[in-house]
């Protein structure tokens, strides 16, 4: 019996991975689970066991997801999302550059190559502003700075970090918003639906306690989310949008290994994200 051509790559099988696997089984698709903690890929493509497979990348860690995708592609596999998409969307500067290059609205952003230049850049960008790590999820290490003195203190700590990458500083204007932002799920170039993520905190991450509420998706939301997903090269994405007081939409970020538990709980049976991902995954493998 031939080995299944579909593989789901993950180190942690969370709600989302369980739902996707259940959807694959419901559709009669045979698949294997690849634990990324145990994965190694030979550079000899002629002997690569993963050649001609289609792999759904659900690894939670950015660097492991990126290098797993790159290695599997080198071995002949097709990976969703691709290593290119993971590389772009997982790095905040690369993602911002891609969005700007596509002409999409996104907050004013500056990249400073040292903590010292970051302080000068913030004075030009204006306060309040946000200092973000290039790579990271769930709003971790994202710091709001209201003034020059606070920024100088934060950047002093950043300069003491051992990683050279930490010394490249991503800066963004703090855009005035309501107590919510918008998450739109895009699969295969189609917006499945959207939610408001509401929080009393300025960071509206579900991982930080934000509550998801269903949003009636308008064409403006859908079109912008689909365009943002395409700009960073993702087949499957969670696109975060923000609406200002005038109703104008801005793209905050694009998540390539999107978590959708809050989204699914908000929509119930009206939208099945896992099934849409499974259907697209199967179609891509054919």
Highest mean pLDDT among 32-46, 133-147, 174-188, 264-278: 264-278
Average of per-residue pLDDT across 211-219: 89
206 & 230 share domain? yes
For residue 140, what are the domain limits? Answer: 108-173
In a domain, 95, yes or no: no
Assess whether pLDDT exceeds 50 at residue 241.
Answer: yes
In a domain, 114, yes or no: yes
pLDDT of residue 1: 43
Average of per-residue pLDDT across 227-242: 97
Distance CA 279, CA 277 (A): 5
Distance CA 239, CA 8 (A): 22
Average of per-residue pLDDT across 214-232: 95
189 & 281 share domain? yes
pLDDT of residue 140: 73
Assess whether pLDDT exceeds 60 at residue 208.
Answer: no
In a domain, 45, yes or no: yes
**What would the pLDDT profile of 29-55 be if each residue is shown by its tens digit?**
999 999 999 998 877 655 556 667 899
Distance CA 206, CA 181 (A): 11
Range of lowest pLDDT (11-25, 177-191, 257-271) = 177-191
Query: Is the full-model pTM beyond 0.85?
Result: yes
Distance CA 148, CA 119 (A): 8
Greater confidence, 211 or 224? 224
15 & 31 share domain? yes
Who contacts 56 (Cβ-Cβ below 8 Å, separation ≥6)? 6, 7, 8, 9, 20, 79, 80, 277, 281
The number of distinct structural domains making up the chain is 3
191 & 271 share domain? yes
61 & 142 share domain? no
In a domain, 11, yes or no: yes
pLDDT of residue 105: 96
**What would the pLDDT profile of 54-97 be if each residue is shown by its tens digit?**
999 999 999 999 999 999 999 889 999 999 999 999 999 999 99
The residue among 224, 257, 228 whose CA lies nearest residue 83 is 257
**For residue 278, what are its two tokens?**
């499974």
Phi and psi (nearest 5°) for 84? -65, -45
- Final residue before a domain boundary, out of 173, 189, 218: 173
Per-chain mean pLDDT for the chain = 90
Coil, helix or strand for 39? Answer: coil
Portion of the chain with pLDDT greater than 70, in percent? 89
For 46: left if phi > 0, alpha if psi spans -120 to 50, otherwise beta; the answer is alpha
CATH classification at residue 48? 3.40.50.20
Assess whether pLDDT exceeds 60 at residue 280.
Answer: yes
In a domain, 101, yes or no: no
In a domain, 102, yes or no: no
- Do 280 and 188 touch, CB atoms closer than 8 A? yes
Bond into 53 cis (ω within 30): no
């Amino acid at each position: 019996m031939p080995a299944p051509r579909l593989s789901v790559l993950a180190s942690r099988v969370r709600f989302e991975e369980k739902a996707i696997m259940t959807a694959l089984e419901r559709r009669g698709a045979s698949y294997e689970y690849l634990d990324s903690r145990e994965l190694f890929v030979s550079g000899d493509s002629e002997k690569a066991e993963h050649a001609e497979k289609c792999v759904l990348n659900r690894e939670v860690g950015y660097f492991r997801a990126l290098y797993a995708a790159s290695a599997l592609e080198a071995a002949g596999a097709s990976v969703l999302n691709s290593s290119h998409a993971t590389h772009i969307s997982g790095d905040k500067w690369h993602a911002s550059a891609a969005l700007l290059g596509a002409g999409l609205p996104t907050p004013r952003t500056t990249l400073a190559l040292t903590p010292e230049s970051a302080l000068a850049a913030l004075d030009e960008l204006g306060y309040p502003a946000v200092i973000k790590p290039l790579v990271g999820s769930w709003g971790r290490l994202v710091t709001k700075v209201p003034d020059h003195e606070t920024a100088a203190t934060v950047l002093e700590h950043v300069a003491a970090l051992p990683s050279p990458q930490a010394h490249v500083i991503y800066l963004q204007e703090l855009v005035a918003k309501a107590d919510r932002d918008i998450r739109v799920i895009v699969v295969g170039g189609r917006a499945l639906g959207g939610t408001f993520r509401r929080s009393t905190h300025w960071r509206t991450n579900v991982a930080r306690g934000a509550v998801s509420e269903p949003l009636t998706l308008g064409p403006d939301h859908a079109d912008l989310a689909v365009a943002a997903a395409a700009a960073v090269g993702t087949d499957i994405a969670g696109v975060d949008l923000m609406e200002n007081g005038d109703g104008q939409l801005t793209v905050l970020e694009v998540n390539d290994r999107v978590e959708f538990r809050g989204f699914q709980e908000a929509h119930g049976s009206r939208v099945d994200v896992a099934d849409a991902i499974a259907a697209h995954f199967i179609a891509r493998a054919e």
